[in-house]
Amino acid sequence: MPVENPVGLESPLILDTLTTPALPSADCPRRARTQLDLLLLAIEALDLGGSEAMLAVARELALDSLVKGRVNLWLLRSTNPMRRYSQRRPMALDEAKALVAIVGNLARRLTVLLRQLLTGYQQLQDKQLSLDHHLRLADYLTRFRTHFRARMNPRRAGVIAYSTDEKLDELAIQLLEQLLLCSGVLGTQRLWSSLFDGEVA
C-alpha cells in the first residue's frame, strides 16, 4: 500500500524510480536525514557553487515543488539533528527522495573529480604520506572540516565523535566513496535503499 504523499502534491516522475519503504512512520528517519545532509555538505566542499547547483538541479528535475528555494533547502537540511539550528519539523519521504535525486545528479557530474580524489587518497595511503601531499584533496578536506564545524552543534554526541581533524577527514573520505557509488547506473536507487538499512519494518 503506497504511503499518502504527506506534502499533498503530485510527485515528479523522477521520484517514481525510488520505491517507498515500509516504515513505521511516513516521515524520513533520523539517520537518513543526517546522511543526506552530510552528503550535501561534501558536495559543497567539492564545489564552491554547490548550493546554487543544488537549486539548479531541483529546477532541472522538476523538483522545485518539493525544494522550493534556498530557505526551503536549508529547512530540509536542518532536519539533520546534528545541526546547530536543527529543525524539529519532519521530512516527508518525497522530500527525502528529492534530495536523493539531487545528490545522485550532482555526484554524476562530479564523477571524474571523485575518482581523482579517491585515487590520490589511495596512493597517499600506499606510500604512507600525509593527505596534504595532494593539494586538491587537502583543499576538499579543509573545506569539509570548516563547513562541518560551522554548521554542526558541538554539544551533540554525534558531533563530538568527530572532534579531531583525523576523524573528520575519515568522514569526508567515506562521503566521497558514497558519492562515487551513487554516481553510477542505478546509483540513486542504491543510495535511497542504503538510507533505510535496519529501518524497514
Question: Mean pLDDT in the chain?
Answer: 88
Q: pLDDT digit string (tens) for 92-147?
A: 999 999 999 999 999 999 999 999 999 999 999 999 999 999 999 999 999 999 99
Q: pLDDT digit string (tens) for 133-156?
A: 999 999 999 999 999 999 999 999
> What local confidence, expressed as pLDDT, does residue 35 receive?
96
Q: pTM for the complete prediction?
A: 0.89
The region of weakest confidence among 12-16, 19-23, 26-30, 188-192 is: 12-16
Asked if pLDDT for residue 11 goes beyond 60, the answer is no
Find the Cα–Cα–Cα–Cα dihedral 66, 72, 76, 81, rounded to 10°: -170
Transcribe the chain into DSSP letters: -PPP-TT-SPPPGGGGGSPPP--SSSBPPHHHHHHHHHHHHHHHHH-TTHHHHHHHHHHHTT-TTTS-SHHHHHHHHTTSTTBTT---S--BHHHHHHHHHHHHHHHHHTHHHHHHHHHHHHHHHHHT--GGGSHHHHHHHHHHHHHHHHHB-TTSHHHHTT-SHHHHHHHHHHHHHHHHHTTSTTHHHHHHHHTTTTT--
Q: Which residue has the cell 539531487?
A: 102
Asked if pLDDT for residue 6 goes beyond 70, the answer is no
> What local confidence, expressed as pLDDT, does residue 70 receive?
93
> What local confidence, expressed as pLDDT, does residue 2 receive?
34
